[in-house]
Amino acid sequence: MNTSMYQLIKEQSNLLMLAISFFTRLPVPFSLDYSPQKLHQAGRYFPLVGWLLVALLSAFYCFATGYFGVAVSVCLLITLSLVLTGALHEDGLADTADGFWGGHTAQRKLAIMKDSQIGTYGTCALICLLLTKFILLCTLAVNQQLLIALAIAYPLSRALAISHVQHLAYARQNSDHSKSAALAQPMQPRVLLWLVISSLPGLLFLTLPSTLIILLSGCALRLALKYWFNKHIGGYTGDCLGFAQQVQEILIYLLLIATLPKVTNGHIFAQLF
């Protein structure tokens, strides 16, 4: 292996480890080469972080379901996902709900989103999200589609979320102490292409109509969220990206349930318990 190839592999491995350290709570080597610019470059590996989570959660579910059944295993899977990610995206969803519905001006909304305390809107959003996710994943599991759903939703929802940095301004004027400020730059076209390609392999398990429905619906939701973020705060924050990831994930689960073969409600109840 020549020197240039070795250096390229070393640089890209460092970026991947930075992405893992930022978006999960998984341990990484302490000798990472960090800078805000490198963290921005690491955003290209956001879908690969999703694939890593898919592998860990799928292995856990396959092990747990043999002992605990579907409902308990899905509950534990959701809990494990929260532990692995540090509830990063769920925190963004709660903060966005609190800020957008609790403030009357853009500056007040941003101030609420920065507050570490959770309010009524954020609490309600989290309860609805986790309950909905539990029911959708149980339905997919009973239909033996859970692993396919994870392989599609985790990478693709993360790619759609991080893609907002391409067309929205970072909303915080003083971003020196923001963890997400380093991501607040558009990606180069080749990096954006890699982001898209690395998020799509899970769709190979689907028929062409199902694939088109998910892609078109995901893009439509992305446009709606772009308008919504702009309307409320004139751009996005890291919390907005977390919100986008979570709602895109829920949308994908809903569309899979609607388009994939399913069993009867009675059969679902029997398999759950």
Establish if 57 belongs to a structural domain. yes
Establish if 21 belongs to a structural domain. no
Establish if 165 belongs to a structural domain. yes
Closest CA to 214 of 250, 181, 187: 250
Domain total of the chain: 1
Give the pLDDT confidence score for residue 8 in this predicted structure.
78
Closest CA to 165 of 191, 183, 182, 180: 183
Establish if 121 belongs to a structural domain. yes
Phi/psi of residue 119, each to 5°? -105, -170
Give the pLDDT confidence score for residue 184 in this predicted structure.
67
Average confidence (pLDDT) per 10 residues, the chain, 273 residues: 76 90 87 82 89 97 95 97 95 96 94 92 97 97 96 96 91 66 75 91 94 97 97 94 97 95 57 55
Give the pLDDT confidence score for residue 183 in this predicted structure.
67
What does the DSSP 8-state code read for residue 236?
B
Residue 229 domain boundaries = 46-272
Establish if 100 belongs to a structural domain. yes
Establish if 11 belongs to a structural domain. no
Give the pLDDT confidence score for residue 26 in this predicted structure.
92
Q: Computed from CA positions of residues 194, 87, 106, 97, in that sequence, does the dihedral angle turn out positive or negative?
A: positive
Q: Report the predicted TM-score, pTM, of the whole model to 2 decimal places.
A: 0.90
Establish if 7 belongs to a structural domain. no
Give the pLDDT confidence score for residue 42 in this predicted structure.
86
Residue with tokens 């954006």: 192
Give the pLDDT confidence score for residue 172 in this predicted structure.
82
Establish if 41 belongs to a structural domain. no
